[in-house]
Amino acid sequence: RIAYAGRDAFPLTFPWIRLEATVTIPSAFDLIVGADILDLLTDPEQEDGEKRFRVAYESSSRSLGLTIGTGYHRYTLDGPTSIEVAYLQGHEEEARFFATLARDILEEYEGRYGAYPRTRLMIVENPNDVGLSFAADGIVWLSQRFFTHRNVLFFGALNRVAEYVLAHEIAHQWVGLGTGIDLNAEAWLSEGLAQYLAVRYFEGRYGAFEPNLFGFGSPGVIEELVKRQFGYFNLREHFIELPYLMTQYVGFDEALVKPIENVQFSNVS
């Protein structure tokens, strides 16, 4: 049952506490979490069809993010903070690439904002149809599209976009998740701060005012076509500030005046 003492199952809103849970799953499935502690409580040789885990955080949290599924492989990049990527068949190259990006992002953030608040970072390939990426304590989900379409059109076409999205989701470990923001009522604050951290990181690497969304490598017909049609794109100007201004112009302010549970639309953040 998904609930805790004194609360119904849904909506399940955690207070700012040290979370601990027991998770039981079918034995054929894998449990992927970002928690600091993951202990198998059942004998791996037993044949009752279930596995039970103890999941816990060493410091306060407002989220318990997990993936339960099959077919995942693991890649681990060792270092001061262990980075683990759970990826699906055929995507090991992308897993290694994203782990390397995450290492650079963590080093940048730790230098500016203090130590990473968890013992490890888990990155999960999220096999959804709409391209969603999001975060919980110690864990980040990246849309499968970054694993499958990174080199569509030309090699590395989505590298910088994926790096920005990864930087945004990792930023939540410091702001939002890391500060105990009520993600039900104050998600706009969490998203705004994460946006700031990610854009600052991105522009530190690729410049602030020049075209910076695409990194063109070897010359080619497709590369030249994309450069001529879309090469002027600037991440902040065209994909952050312009949409915000258009939203402001039409008077859409639900993200600021309502908790998420009272909002009917998914674009509030």
Query: According to the model, what pLDDT value does residue 40 have?
Result: 93
As a whole number, mean pLDDT of residues 55-63 equals 89
Query: What are the beta bridge partners of residue 61?
Result: 17
CA 70 to centroid of chain Cα atoms:
20
What does the pLDDT average to over 200-229? 89
Distance from C-alpha of 122 to C-alpha of 84, rounded to nearest angstrom:
5
The amino acid occupying position 172 is: H
Count of all residues that appear for the chain in the document: 269
- Percent of the chain with pLDDT strictly greater than 70: 84
Nearest to 244 by CA among 256, 262, 257, 230: 256
Average pLDDT over residues 43-59: 85
Residue 213 and residue 159: Cα distance in Å, rounded? 9
Task: With a cut of 90, say whether residue 39 has pLDDT above it.
Answer: yes
What pLDDT is stored for residue 10 in this prediction? 56
Range 170-187 burial, b when 16+ CB lie within 10 A, else e: bbbbbbbbbeebbbeebb
The residue-averaged pLDDT of 53-65 equals: 90
So what's the pLDDT on residue 262? 67
Q: What is the mean pLDDT of residues 4-27?
A: 75
Mean pLDDT of the chain: 86
Domains, in order of start, for the chain: 20-262 (3.30.2010.30)
User: What is the pTM for the complete model shown?
Assistant: 0.86
25's enclosing H/E stretch is strand 20-26
What's residue 7's pLDDT? 57
What pLDDT, on the 0 to 100 scale, is given for residue 220?
A: 83
Closest CA to 269 of 186, 207, 196: 186
Q: 72-98: per-residue pLDDT in tens?
A: 999 999 999 999 999 999 999 999 999
Residue 255's pLDDT is: 59
Residue 14 pLDDT more than 80?
no
Q: Is the pLDDT of residue 216 over 70?
A: yes
pLDDT for the residue numbered 269: 46
User: What pLDDT is attached to residue 131?
Assistant: 77
